[in-house]
Amino acid sequence: MIIPFFALIIVGCSNAVNLTDGLDGLATGCTISAALSYAVLAYFAGHFFMAVEYLVIPHNLYIGELSVFLMALAGACFGFLWFNCHPARVFMGDTGSLAIGGALGTAAISTKQELLLVIIGGIFVMEAMSVILQVGSFKLRKQRIFKMSPIHHHFELIGWHESQVIVRFWILSIMLALFGLAILKIA
């Protein structure tokens, strides 16, 4: 039962990041905030007092190394963003976005915070859900919900400039990542 759940997380996250990679730097910027959040989670989960006594999250002695990988992923995304921001000179493509999504899904599984990925990766969820809703609505009712999906294209078609969409989604991604970290102590 757990293997199909993990497969769903990894495949879903991979495809959600792939759908987000439609504007220059959008997926890259959102990946940075998600990777940094999970790096913090992995770091805390690797330290007994922070994990068990303070945050009450599962402790794993060896998960601290995952935070190093996630920080490297965030650093690589910062370097890539230099060339991928609007107007992009280098594109990520399916190979990069699917791999990044798989890495984020695996990080969520490794830290045992799979459901928190819905909040921390909220932009990715929003992008994937917009496609699912658009396709489902068109198949069932022959009507569109959005002017175009994924939703970042909808905002472009209602008059937002590409840079406006990207920066606002980045801001939302940072807010969701911070909210995801903040609710650890509440729960």
Q: What is the pLDDT of residues 157-173, one digit of tens each?
A: 999 999 999 999 999 99
Confidence of residue 152 (pLDDT cuts 50, 70, 90): very high
Residue-wise pLDDT tens digits, 84-111? 988 889 999 999 999 999 999 999 999 9
Averaged confidence pLDDT in the chain:
94
Residue 187's pLDDT is what?
A: 54
60 confidence band (pLDDT: 50, 70, 90): confident
Global confidence as pTM: 0.93
Q: Find, among 128, 131, 146, the residue nearest to 27 by Cα.
A: 128
* Number of domain units in the chain: 1
SS3 109: helix
Q: State the Cα–Cα distance between residues 28 and 118, nearest whole angstrom.
A: 18
Instruction: Tell me which amino acid residue 102 is.
Output: G
Task: Tell me which residue range forms the domain holding 150.
Answer: 2-186
